[in-house]
Chains A and B, each alone.
Chain A
């Protein structure tokens, strides 16, 4: 049965195929993704903003040739927008259109009609469960959602089934590959974490970050990339409100390239600092500690 199919044969293959889509995975990432595939468990990815959590899900989807279905979490997200909803307006129209038919027969007919597939609005979770083709379900920024949504996720993710009172229980014919991301603005519940494999994505090592920057900005000379990564790491070591992320290193690389700097010196850093540091106090601190102000 398709349920038992595994997308990857070994860890090296995970690395290779993610690499082919432009996502450079390190050992821990590749191993964890491999396990999530093998054990058929949801993967919870946690880490600071901009280290490539969402990117991992996208890369994975394109590596295994699956469609990405995304559930973006936010405050106040509820069942109606995560799972399914009845299309009230259309149901109402149907009832009004059929109000000419008299008696119980008409009502029975209308009742059966309005709680059918046609009036069901499928939201991401239900869509992912019902799909027959390979699917990657991305539940993005899970920490932003309310605690109640976690309860809903628990049910869906542990059994991969949804019960709709009027239609019955819908079970996944093909379990989707589930990735949850979180910025850790709040602790997710123990129950949810227990059901997931956990991957903590942090800022990468200097070598890996250099590779990432070079793969995203291939025109950048290697020497500049190395200098840039070193400065970014020095920035991260400071106590800043918001440390620069990988995404911002890449932006910085684009900027440096576009402005045509050929050395990454004090002047170049000082004039483009706004690309990576987005608080005035962070900038002041960086200028002070890197002694950029002197020239």
Chain B
């Protein structure tokens, strides 16, 4: 197989991972690599990234696949061009280990582990990427494998545990800070530096493990598990803690994007009515010929938004995002009122002001009056309370937005009250974080509510949320 075929396979893999690559871009990629040559792997990576990977969102998947399709070395990776690894202080040990790790005595292994850890400490202290990479390789080689049913298997966890970089933090801090006093700014900044370096080391180990797995089982087999779903496809309800941080980063740009979109719509064009007086006035400058027409500004559209948000445990991560989005959109709408509910409903608009998001969530949980009986969602009661206390919030210019999974724990739905609310509002939309196929199953009252609102929308990830809002807002 030549490198061109490999490049084409790589673009196919990118497409499988959800990154759109056109054939024109594939041609560009080949031309780019042609201009650079294949000698420098980093340059090849940069060339392919410049031609194939055109959103930051795609970059992690791109890098993972690049490492799989264009591995920096093959096999144990200690031959030929890599003599440095074996010439270092623990060279002899390293060589034994790479040759046949199974045959080492436990004492030898322990000694090797200590030696590697010492090197790791030095490399982390100096931030030396080259030796970190070499260490990652040797650590995986020595500790990451176990004989499996078909050949050797490789495990990230084993390698990381053997190195246990976290346990070096104290020593590293001492080395970085020297005799400066502890606590406070210097320590905090140093900790950040160390954490960054350890994370990048762990990523190197992970990449190395993937590479060995791919050699053992073939690239295609590894590809599917290795590439994490793109951030805007991560499901709200299943997001892990790490996904959450990443997703949170996306919401602000999303809101800003929406905001510019909104204002752009408002300013776009000169559709306002002709201002005759100012047009004539301006024509004086051009000898009475009305070269430029003047227009009255259009009446600004002042939408009002009322958000009704389920914040119970089952949808908490979803609620988190919708509240953040509300928070971000607040500046764009003349009036945004937010209400949270579990069993009962309370206005949370006051928490949206001036605070940052973490505090906001904590205060809503602490201060808002949401629980009446046992803390399980009760849509019926929540809607009744809302209609009773805040029905004046919903007027003819209001867009009503309900966020929740409509899992009602088999309680009453108060459909009549809800129908009335929807009738009062100009638009009513329901965002449901559950897959459409589950609506109406079990205790879900989705189907009942779906008939009452203008539209119930499946909103499982950032991508769908974005699509929905782009569709909704201009109206």
- Is B263 in contact with A233, judged by CB distance below 8 angstroms? no
Bound CA–CA A149/B53 (angstroms): 23
**Which of chain A's residues have a CB closer than 8 A to the CB of B56?**
46, 184, 200, 202
A169 within 8 Å of B by Cβ? no
A-B CB contact pairs (8 Å), 16 listed: A11-B40, A11-B43, A31-B36, A31-B46, A34-B36, A39-B28, A41-B28, A75-B260, A75-B264, A75-B268, A88-B286, A89-B285, A186-B260, A234-B192, A265-B186, A291-B185
A211-239 interface (Cβ within 8 A of B): 227, 230-231, 233-234, 237, 239
- Is A233 in contact with B192, judged by CB distance below 8 angstroms? yes
**Which of chain B's residues have a CB closer than 8 A to the CB of A197?**
28, 32, 50-51
B49-67 interface (Cβ within 8 A of A): 49-51, 53-56, 59
Question: What string of 1s and 0s marks CB contacts (under 8 Å) between B190-201 and chain A?
Answer: 101100100000
B16-73 interface (Cβ within 8 A of A): 20, 22, 24-25, 28, 31-32, 35-36, 40, 42-43, 46-47, 49-51, 53-56, 59
Within the complex, the shortest CB–CB distance from B99 to chain A, in Å, comes to 34
**Given A207-B127, A233-B193, A291-B183, A38 and B35 contact (CB-CB distance below 8 Å):** yes
- Is A35 in contact with B185, judged by CB distance below 8 angstroms? no
A294 within 8 Å of B by Cβ? yes
**CB-nearest residue of chain A to B291:** A88
- Is B36 in contact with A39, judged by CB distance below 8 angstroms? no
- Is A294 in contact with B36, judged by CB distance below 8 angstroms? no
**Which of chain A's residues have a CB closer than 8 A to the CB of B24?**
194
- Is B358 in contact with A239, judged by CB distance below 8 angstroms? yes
B298 within 8 Å of A by Cβ? no
- Is A231 in contact with B185, judged by CB distance below 8 angstroms? yes
- Is B46 in contact with A269, judged by CB distance below 8 angstroms? no
Best-surrounded residue of B36, B40, B127, B252 (most CB of chain A within 10 A): B36
- Is A31 in contact with B43, judged by CB distance below 8 angstroms? yes
Question: What string of 1s and 0s marks CB contacts (under 8 Å) between B245-269 and chain A?
Answer: 0001000110011001101100110
- Is A266 in contact with B50, judged by CB distance below 8 angstroms? no
Bound CA–CA A75/B25 (angstroms): 30
Bound CA–CA A202/B49 (angstroms): 14
**Given A185-B260, A227-B189, A234-B192, A146 and B268 contact (CB-CB distance below 8 Å):** yes
**Which of chain A's residues have a CB closer than 8 A to the CB of B357?**
239
- Is B47 in contact with A31, judged by CB distance below 8 angstroms? yes
Within the complex, the shortest CB–CB distance from A137 to chain B, in Å, comes to 19
Residue of B185, B253, B358 near A265 (CB, 8 A) is B185
By Cβ-Cβ distance, the 6 closest A-B pairs, closest first, are: A230-B189, A31-B46, A198-B54, A234-B192, A38-B35, A197-B50
- Is A11 in contact with B184, judged by CB distance below 8 angstroms? no
Question: What string of 1s and 0s marks CB contacts (under 8 Å) between A167-205 and chain B?
Answer: 000000000000000001111001001101111101000
Within the complex, the shortest CB–CB distance from A108 to chain B, in Å, comes to 21
A92 within 8 Å of B by Cβ? yes
- Is B185 in contact with A292, judged by CB distance below 8 angstroms? yes
Within the complex, the shortest CB–CB distance from B351 to chain A, in Å, comes to 14
Bound CA–CA A184/B286 (angstroms): 41
**Which of chain B's residues have a CB closer than 8 A to the CB of A39?**
28, 31-32, 35
B151 within 8 Å of A by Cβ? no
Interface size (B, Cβ < 8 Å)?
54
Question: What string of 1s and 0s marks CB contacts (under 8 Å) between A67-79 and chain B?
Answer: 0000000011000
Bound CA–CA A11/B183 (angstroms): 44
B442 within 8 Å of A by Cβ? no
B354 within 8 Å of A by Cβ? yes
**Given A28-B46, A35-B47, A198-B49, A233 and B196 contact (CB-CB distance below 8 Å):** yes
- Is B50 in contact with A199, judged by CB distance below 8 angstroms? yes
B238 within 8 Å of A by Cβ? no
**Which of chain B's residues have a CB closer than 8 A to the CB of A198?**
49-51, 53-54
- Is A28 in contact with B49, judged by CB distance below 8 angstroms? yes
**Which of chain B's residues have a CB closer than 8 A to the CB of A239?**
248, 356-358
- Is A281 in contact with B260, judged by CB distance below 8 angstroms? no
**CB-nearest residue of chain A to B55:** A187
Bound CA–CA A109/B412 (angstroms): 84
A32 within 8 Å of B by Cβ? yes
- Is A230 in contact with B192, judged by CB distance below 8 angstroms? yes
A250-295 interface (Cβ within 8 A of B): 265-266, 269, 281, 285, 289-292, 294
- Is A186 in contact with B196, judged by CB distance below 8 angstroms? no
**Which of chain B's residues have a CB closer than 8 A to the CB of A35?**
32, 35-36, 47, 50-51
Bound CA–CA A285/B355 (angstroms): 10
Question: What string of 1s and 0s marks CB contacts (under 8 Å) between B357-369 and chain A?
Answer: 1100000000000
